[in-house]
Structure 1
Amino acid sequence: MHKTVSDAVTTPTGRQGKAFHLLWAGETVSLFGTQITLVALPLTAVLVLGASGPQMGLITAAGWLPVVLLGLIAGAWSDRRDQRRTMIFCNVCRAVLIGAVPLLSSLGLLTVPVLLGLAFVTGCFSVFFDVAYQTLVPLTVGSDGLARANSRLEMSRSFAQLLGPTAAGFLVVQFSAPGALAVDAASFAVSAACILALTPLSLRQKVSTPAPGRGVRGLRADLAEGLRFVVGHRPILLVIVAGAAANLFTAGLMALHVLFAARDLQLSPRVIGVCLAAEGAAALIGSALTARVIRRWGEPRTVLAGLALLTCGGFILAATTPAWSWAGFAAAQFAFGFSSPLINIALVTLRQRLTPEGVLGRVNAVARVGIMSSLPIGSALAGAASGLLTNQGALGVCAVGLAVVLAVAARPLLGVGRAG
């Protein structure tokens, strides 16, 4: 396996420590706002606009489609531009777009097509932000500090998952579903301010700057270099294929679970928020344990453990009935939450460690496109399946699909571990 050459210390200190903590603080606030949107946006579609299952699938797909269309370009852009400026610009734009939802709703101008468009454009800026973010983190801590840094970031995500949905349920009840989205808009503004305070001098090396005179031809060459690296690196390629297959069915679960809870299980927004908070509690526990699990089992086995828990959560959700609605829904969210840091931290840490810094942005982008390209497809297909079957039937299909992926991917992923 390829090794990343680095002289970084194991923990961020001095200016590097300040850089990471600024980045961490801004992302923590933004993650909290995002968790509110993950509850308030689908509830806006269901409760305010009366969206159907197929429409919910399309709204979810619209948010993921930019990853497929722009992911590779975002990677090359990240390696050729100042990541800080890219992230600040994207956060300002996302604040405006998310803030437009409550405004349009109050004016009676919000419709399902408008919500689709806003989700798509917001997703475009998210693609550029996320690739730049993953590229910037190693510059604040170095290779040896990545597992710890990623664990801290995942722990922030877990705290947001714990507190955000409960807050979202309260905000939806008090101010309406569209009104709750104003909190996410404000969180993007706070994140932009934190990144603005992150100076290049605080990083382990200078952030990327434009390569002079390369133009479109140079951009194509950059994209081709990233693709060649991934295609020629069998461990990363195997992880991407397994992740894409799992995401095909995970997207279906995520597209339909709030609709299923609100319509089929008849849960109120406040109860839905509390149940979704179980995902955050589990993710918090998982975040605290994942670095230790990776040290003992290695990244590939950690990913498999996460996939197994994710599959269990899918079956629990599909089997939930109104007789035990909140308990089944909360149990499924707990399984989803515990699996998330196991999969995310292991995948990101493995990819960052194996990739040279010069192509890290492009490789991050190729991996994101490969792993996440199935998300819009899975969301749309699950929405269509809910129209042909039922919401519960479509969830059952997704759970069975995850079980098949786990069975097929086990041996190749274990082979990656032996190769390492």
Structure 2
Amino acid sequence: MSETQPSTAAAVFPPLRRDIRVHAWIFSAAVSKIGDMAWYVGLAWSAAQITTPAGAGLVMGIGAVPRALVLLFGGALADRLDGRRVMILSNLGRIAVLIASAVVASMWGLSLPLLLTIAVVFGVVDAIYTPAAGTLPRRMVQPDDQVKLAAGNQLAVRLAIFVGAPLGGLLVANGGLATVMIVDAVSFAVIACALAFLVKPRLPQPASTGTSIRADLKEGFGYLRRDARARTLVIAFSGLNLCVGPVLAVGLVQRVHLSGWGSAALGWFEACSGLAAAGGAIVAMRWKPANLARSGLIALIFQAAGCVMIGVMPRYGILLAMVMIGATAGIASAQLSAAFQLSVDASYLGRSFSIVLLSDEALMPVAMVAFGAFITLAGISVACAVIGSAFAALMVWAVARVGR
């Protein structure tokens, strides 16, 4: 644990089961995910109705560009200012954009330029909000409760996905995208109120000491060069995103399609993974190993095995693989999130978190395309075996580094 962690001596931490601040934080995460899923479904459906498939793809993907460009700035801003205030202001910005867009859509109808504008602005706001959110858990609970907080947060988010997606479809079918935007704005208002009045960190936030945002960014990369444990976790998280994401988003779909199993099988595979992840989060609440980082990384080695299985196993074997991937994700996400909070210097949390997110936003599209091309050249079984093996090797390397 970093020696610069804020002292917990003067703070009072009630048991998590009676901690209203923690409950409000988890509730906010669930409401946020419900709104995100409803918005995603509503935007995707609306884009498909008013433009070509290429235009719809542009609408759904263009938001990643400003997120990638602004994420590092958002991380530096989170370390320089109070993270909770940054989140509140970001939510107020989201509300303003949604209400203005709903008014425009109601008066002049939906158009491709309007959807593109909304997607771009949301990308910018998300890039400011998300790193700030990553700085709060460290300041809310004592170190021994970090895993439980991360697991509870993950469980709430997993369950929210099952609510948000059908809710978005129902709203856009009956009221159009304007209705989705209003409901999403209400969800952001609820989150802003929870952050303003209930989610109050108990520990101070050590501010960055750079003379400017640019200096803070430079120092953030310098910190990762100096701190081997933090650097290892950032590399491991980035590898997780770039290896497992393409297998699930491209490889699984191609395997189902090439095997002729139909879209229903894909839905069952995804559902099993989601339920297993929720179960893994529950296990993580009860189990606290001595070395959180090492335990979480070892769990991801089993997830790598699941990635290999997707390319070679029959239908029921892939069902088992998805259960393995989901369960290990539920356990590892909670343990590694807590390890990240406790390992990274508190004054660099926002910047370190934004670097992890940047690999997801900037490199994930490239990884998806590359993995799809690899499948075309070598076949689904070889592609899954290679990326799964590479992922396992990276986790073995990381386990050796954090276990020292």
Q: Does 1:312 align with 2:306?
A: yes
Q: Does 1:358 align with 2:347?
A: yes
CA distance in 2, matches of 1:167, 1:11: 39
How large is the Cα RMSD of the aligned pairs? Answer: 4.5
Task: Report the counterpart of residue 110 of structure 1 in structure 2.
Answer: 111
| Greater length-normalized contact order (CA 8 Å, ≥ 6 residues apart) | 1
Q: Does 1:219 align with 2:213?
A: yes
Give structure 1 stretches of 5+ with no counterpart: none
Q: Does 1:244 align with 2:233?
A: no
Task: Report the counterpart of residue 401 of structure 2 in structure 1.
Answer: 416
Task: Report the counterpart of residue 403 of structure 1 in structure 2.
Answer: 388
CA shift in 2, pair 1:11/1:85, >3 Å: closer
CA distance in 2, matches of 1:337, 1:101: 37
Any conservation in 1 of the 2:68–2:362 contact (CA below 8 Å)?
yes
Q: Residue 339 of structure 2 aligns to which amino acid in structure 1?
A: L
C-alpha displacement of 1:135:
0.9
Q: Residue 32 of structure 2 aligns to which amino acid in structure 1?
A: S
CA distance in 2, matches of 1:33, 1:74: 21
SS in 1 for 2:13: coil
C-alpha displacement of 1:349:
1.5
Q: TM-score, normalised by structure 1?
A: 0.74
CA distance in 2, matches of 1:228, 1:417: 19
CA distance in 2, matches of 1:282, 1:169: 25
SS in 2 for 1:12: coil
Aligned to 1:28, which of 18, 21, 30?
A: 30
Q: How does 1:268-279 map to 2 (within 5 A)?
A: 277-279=271-273
C-alpha displacement of 1:403:
0.6
Q: How does 1:14-413 map to 2 (within 5 A)?
A: 17-46=19-48, 49-51=51-53, 56=57, 61-97=61-97, 100=101, 104=105, 108-111=109-112, 115-171=115-171, 180=180, 182-198=182-198, 202-207=200-205, 217-252=211-246, 267=263, 277-295=271-289, 298-306=292-300, 308-309=302-303, 312=306, 316=310, 337-370=326-359, 372-379=361-368, 381=370, 385=373, 399-400=384-385, 402-413=387-398
CA shift in 2, pair 1:167/1:219, >3 Å: closer
Any conservation in 1 of the 2:303–2:329 contact (CA below 8 Å)?
no
C-alpha displacement of 1:377:
2.8
Give structure 2 stretches of 5+ with no counterpart: none
C-alpha displacement of 1:405:
2.7
Any conservation in 2 of the 1:67–1:372 contact (CA below 8 Å)?
yes
Any conservation in 1 of the 2:307–2:385 contact (CA below 8 Å)?
no
CA shift in 2, pair 1:89/1:7, >3 Å: closer
Any conservation in 2 of the 1:161–1:276 contact (CA below 8 Å)?
no
Question: Deviation above 6 Å: which 4+ runs of structure 1?
Answer: 208-211, 257-262, 271-275, 318-321, 327-333, 393-398
SS in 1 for 2:212: helix
Alignment: residue pair count: 399
Taking only the aligned residue pairs, the percentage that are identical comes to 22
CA shift in 2, pair 1:172/1:379, >3 Å: farther
CA shift in 2, pair 1:297/1:228, >3 Å: closer
